[in-house]
Chains A and B, each alone.
Chain A
Amino acid sequence: MLLHDLLFRLRTLLRRPATENELDDELRFHLERQIDKYVRSGMSETEAVRRARLEFGGLDQVKDECREARGVSFVETLVQDLHYTARTLLHSPAFTACAVLTLALGIGANTAIFSVVNRVLLNPLPYPNSQELLAARQNDSRPNLKDIQRQTNSFASSGGVNIEPMDFTGSGEPVRVHAAYIDAGLLATLGVQPMLGRWISADEDVKGGPRNVVVSYPFWRDFLGGDPHVLGRAIRLSDNSYTVIGVMPREFTLPKELADVFVSLWVAYPEAAPFRGVHFMHTYWRLKPGVTLTQAQAEIAQADHRLAEEFPDTEKERGTLLIPLHEWLVGNVRSALLILFGAVGLVLLIACANFAMLLMARAVARQRELMIRASLGARNGRLIRQRLTESALLALVGGAAGLVVAKAGSTLLLALKPAALRHFGTIHMDARVFMFVFAISLLTGLLFGLLPAWSASRGDIAEALRENARRTTTGISRSLLRSFLVTAELALALILLAGAGLLIKGFLRLRSVDPGFNPANVITMYLQLPGTRYPQIPLQTNFRRELLARINSFPGVEAAMVTDLPLAGNYVDHRVVIDGRPTPAVGAEPEVQTLSVMGDYFGVMQIPIRGGRDFRAMDREGQPRVAIVNEAFVRQLLPGQNPIGTRIDWTRSNEPHEWMTIIGIASDVKHSGLNQPVDPAVYAPFSQNDEAWRKWMTLVIRTRVPVAGLVKDVKKQVWSLDSQIPVSGIQSMEDLLAVSIAQQRFNMLLLGIFAALAVALAGVGIYGMVAYRVNQRTHEIGVYIALGAQHRDVLQLVMKDGVKLGLLGIVLGLAGAIALTRVMVSLLFEVKPTDPATLIGVALLLAAVAMLACYIPARRALSIHPMTALRCE
């Protein structure tokens, strides 16, 4: 029975043209027989035809009913409606363009953000069974990692990595590459197989093990020529020869680190590998199936406890905290992304409200047509359905256009290069994004098409006739709906505007933070001396001194060097002891940033010296050790004292201390970020260094005039001293500063764009409403003018509603903003989410936009000529 029904429908559908013909034939046969019958009974031919037709009823209607009875009507009707809709839409290109554009903007912006959300928050990480992967919040050392591995049962495997620069030489210019110093467990933990060859095995990951290297796909492609027979080839990395034993697949990356080559920590950096106190590896852990995070955390806490008891010198303050890898990676991006997603959702709501109002205005304009069709027997349901077809079609076209907007939008997003998204690679539009667009478009079309369709189809024909004849007012419900939509739009726009305003204010505050140095006209470059050729400090010092002397001999150039630049994200910290102070408990000494400098670093960076003196040429090897501390050091560690002359040293130094005497106080520098507090810092001359592992340096070069070819000249000088040293990290201090606030800038720009979009859409919405009312009340206004109304009165008449709704929307929006901007706290810098100045400012701005949007169409009312208005009756 059901099967028969289904087959019947299917057959009818498949044989559509044939079925149609048969239906025609059948009905024609009936009419002919009927006419024949009447003619025989003596009627005239014309009369017979007339009679037969009359009795039969509307032929098309009967056909329609037959099709419906055959059960193909749904598809048939849809095709018909689509055809009809497409035709009518093409007849009103302005309306169609407005509707499609409105939706394209709303849907496009949403899709762009969704594709980022999809990539970052929804997609699993590119490792097998990535839900089992954990990361430790704290870095650890290799010996600790090994001990924990031995003492725990929760983990299938675990491993660590530390990224160090290595020099790749032997093919053209020397290149600094990112080397991942790993332990053998890391690769098993992440579980990605090499594309060629194999991973480093556990028995190779030992002291004195073979120098083997696994390379990344880009390294293999760019530096090894993509050679498929590369396995076994020797390459030179930092003056040692390594054998290539594996190539990773193209899409493989470490969770958070960028790496070109992978080597065993034991093999490549045996100096650091055995030190328990050197916590410099990121560690990753894979849970055994069935083990929960809580169990693993409990077990690791016990292991921490044992380590702390056994090695109190370095491990007393352990507290390893495991978190799911995905959470660790998206933690700081999640809130910003979700806020942006919410914001862009509000933009879509506003766009939808405009869309609904457009449809309503169109319904009114087409009232006559609808009325005629209703009186010809079209049923209410059918009319609603047709209008829904129209809105759904518009929404789908809008969604397709939105994809184009989204594509452009995500290109723009990536061009802004938000640092936090860097690890997630490219943003694709995958099937899920397309599903999202399709669903959101259809939902928009049906939901927001239903309101106006429903309100348009209601009411009886007679009323519609009357309305049409008098052109006075439309139904109360429809005008209420429109008022509601306008108010909601303005309220939503205000919320977005408030969010954007707060971010802008926060960003301006952040940007106006004094970094503590003058970034203008400073170029920086990074160098690292290979440990093999510069094992001792005097060799390093000679190289540095000679290089600086050569660069400083360039005209118009001042150069100095420092270990780590401010805002570059790196520094080395040491625990410090102060001479004459009771020594704190082991492990509880204060930690300070330690920076080595050479040349006139404070002069080049224009960091003011607040007290004491700057370093001089005489502060060199063989002379008394000196140091300059920053103001934060004085504030936190020597409060209320004159620090000049105080002696300090690192806790790690052997007794007796070789004290450094503080000779000066440098002004604070925002080393870790403009929105971060300044930590205590100690500057000491490179030449008085006793740490041979400080092999790296960053040149800071201030040019009084823009010097063309400076970078090339510097490189030439470096290579004339040592042709095997790569020069990297070439960037201006201004770029570095900009990059350091790129994330905040990204958030601000994006929310700013959304808010602008929202305000524009809401403005169009209120404009449309007032324009529509002016249009409808032309006659009334004409009479009013004829009766002697002044411009002011007319403006008041037509603007009154718009302004009232606008103000209501703004007040509601303010309440909404106060309730919602709280979620933004984490994104704001030194601005409260309820900052009154911002809220008042954006409210005034939106009020001005709303007034303008009311005023422009209202002006048209002034130009209405009474006679024309009366004549249009």
Chain B
Amino acid sequence: MPSRSIDLPQGTLDLLILRTLSLEPLHGWAVSERIQQISSDVLRVQQGSLYPALHRLERRGWIKARWGTSENNRRAKFYELTKAGRRELEIEQHAWEKLTAAVSQILETA
């Protein structure tokens, strides 16, 4: 195993997926690549846990899936954000910001 990366806190995977998909529709592999790239390899998404999360979000109606052609010309399942997903992303993002702000404040002042 390469450098030790941080395990995702419970529940944040959903937020990251929604955020990643808010820019453009992506297939699962691209989602995991994107998360890793953006986080400069600090966050390692356990690839196995990505798919259950995607299916769960799909069930909740926050993302929807369609089959399309990938950049290397293969059939792939693309996910995109729904309207409900966009709303959910805003709520979650807001909550996350509040949480981290509060935690940072405690860490800095206490």
User: A residues within 8 Å of B by Cβ?
Assistant: 1, 4-5, 8-9, 22, 25-27, 29-30, 32-34, 36, 55-58, 61-62, 65-66, 68-71
Judge whether B29 and A29 touch: CB under 8 Å.
yes
- With A25-B77, A30-B29 as given contacts, are A70 and B47 in contact (CB-CB < 8 Å)? no
Q: Considering only CB atoms, which chain A residue lies closest to B30 in the complex? A: A33
B59 near A69 with CB under 8 A, answer yes
User: Contact mask B60-80 → A, CB, 8 Å, 1/0?
Assistant: 110000010010101111000
Question: Complex formed: what's the CA distance from A779 to B46 in Å?
Answer: 48
Q: Identify B53's interface contact among A1, A25, A56, A69, CB under 8 A.
A: A69
B27 within 8 A of A: yes
Map CB proximity to A onto B14-46 as digits: 1 under 8 Å, 0 otherwise.
Answer: 000000000000011100100000000000001
- Inter-chain CA distance A29–B52, complex, in Å, is 16
- Selected from B28, B32, B48, B49, the residue in CB contact (under 8 A) with A26 is B28
Which residue of chain B has the shortest Cβ distance to A65 in the bound complex?
Answer: B52
Inter-chain contact A34/B29, CB cutoff 8 Å: yes
CB contact between A62 and one of B52, B56, B67 (< 8 Å): that residue:
B52
Pair A26/B52 contact, Cβ less than 8 Å = no
Distance, CA A68 to CA B58, complexed state (A): 13
Is the pair B47, A29 in contact by a Cβ cutoff of 8 Å? no
Residue of A at shortest CB range from B67? A22
Q: Chain B residues near A68: list those with CB within 8 A.
A: 52
Chain B, interface size category, equals 20 to 34
Q: How many A-B residue pairs have CB under 8 A?
A: 74
B1, chain A: closest CB distance, angstroms: 9
In the complex, which residues of chain A have a beta carbon less than 8 angstroms from the beta carbon of B56?
A: 69-70
| A–B complex contacts, Cβ < 8 Å, 14 sampled | A5-B60, A26-B77, A27-B51, A29-B29, A30-B32, A30-B47, A30-B51, A34-B29, A36-B72, A55-B47, A56-B48, A57-B49, A58-B48, A62-B52
Residues of B71-100 contacting chain A, CB below 8 A: 72, 74-77, 84
Distance of A69 Cα from B46 Cα, bound (Å): 16
Considering only CB atoms, which chain B residue lies closest to A58 in the complex?
A: B48
Contact at B61–A29, with CB atoms within 8 Å? no
Task: Give Cα A4 to B82, complex, Å.
Answer: 13
Docked CA distance A27–B74 (Å): 13
Query: Of B27, B55, B61, B70, which contacts A66 at CB under 8 A?
Result: B55
- Tell me the nearest residue of chain B to A67, going by C-beta: B55
Query: For B55, what are the chain A residues with a Cβ–Cβ distance below 8 Å?
Result: 66, 69-70
Residues of B with C-beta under 8 A to A57: 46-49
Question: For residue A34, which residue of chain B has the nearest CB?
Answer: B29
Question: Is B29 a contact of A69 with CB atoms below 8 Å?
Answer: no
Which of B58, B59, B70 sits near A29, CB closer than 8 Å?
B70
Q: How far is the CA of A139 from the CA of B32 in the complex (A)?
A: 91
Flag if A66 contacts B29 (CB, 8 Å).
Answer: no
Report chain A residues within 8 Å CB of B49. 57, 62, 65
| CB of B75 to closest CB in A, whole Å | 7
Residue of A nearest to B76 (CB): A29
**Chain B residue contacts of A32, Cβ below 8 A:** 74
Are B51's CB and A26's CB within 8 A? yes
Whether A4 touches B61, Cβ cut-off 8 Å, given contacts A22-B77, A25-B75, A29-B29, is yes
Determine how close the nearest CB of chain A comes to the CB of B13; give it in whole angstroms. Answer: 12
Residue of A nearest to B28 (CB): A30
CB distance from A127 to the nearest CB of B (A): 56
Q: Is the CB of A69 within 8 A of B52?
A: yes
Task: List residues of chain B with CB within 8 A of the CB of A36.
Answer: 72
A68 to chain B, nearest CB (A): 7
Report the separation of the CA atoms of residues A457 and B54 in the bound assembly, to the nearest whole angstrom: 32
Interface centre among B52, B53, B67 (most CB of A within 10 A): B52
Q: Which residues of A contact B46 (CB under 8 A)?
A: 57
The smallest C-beta distance from B51 to any residue of chain A, in angstroms, reads 5
**Among the listed A1, A8, A27, which residue makes an inter-chain contact with B58, where contact means beta carbons less than 8 Å apart?**
A8
**Which residues of A lie under 8 Å from residue B75 when comparing CB positions?**
25, 29
Give bound CA distance, A32 to B56, whole Å.
23
Q: Is the CB of A56 within 8 A of B52?
A: no
A5 touches B51 (CB 8 A): no
Which residue on chain B has the smallest CB distance to residue A63? B51
- A33 near B51 with CB under 8 A, answer no
B58: which A residues are within 8 A, CB to CB? Answer: 8, 70
Known contacts A29-B75, A30-B29, A34-B29, A62 near B59 by CB under 8 Å? no
Complex CA gap A56/B58 in Å reads 21
Which of B27, B29, B61, B72 is A1 in contact with, Cβ under 8 Å? B61
Please report the C-alpha to C-alpha distance between residue A1 and residue B87 in the assembled complex, in whole angstroms. 13
A273 CB → nearest B CB, Å: 81
Which chain A residues border B29 with CB–CB below 8 Å? 29-30, 33-34
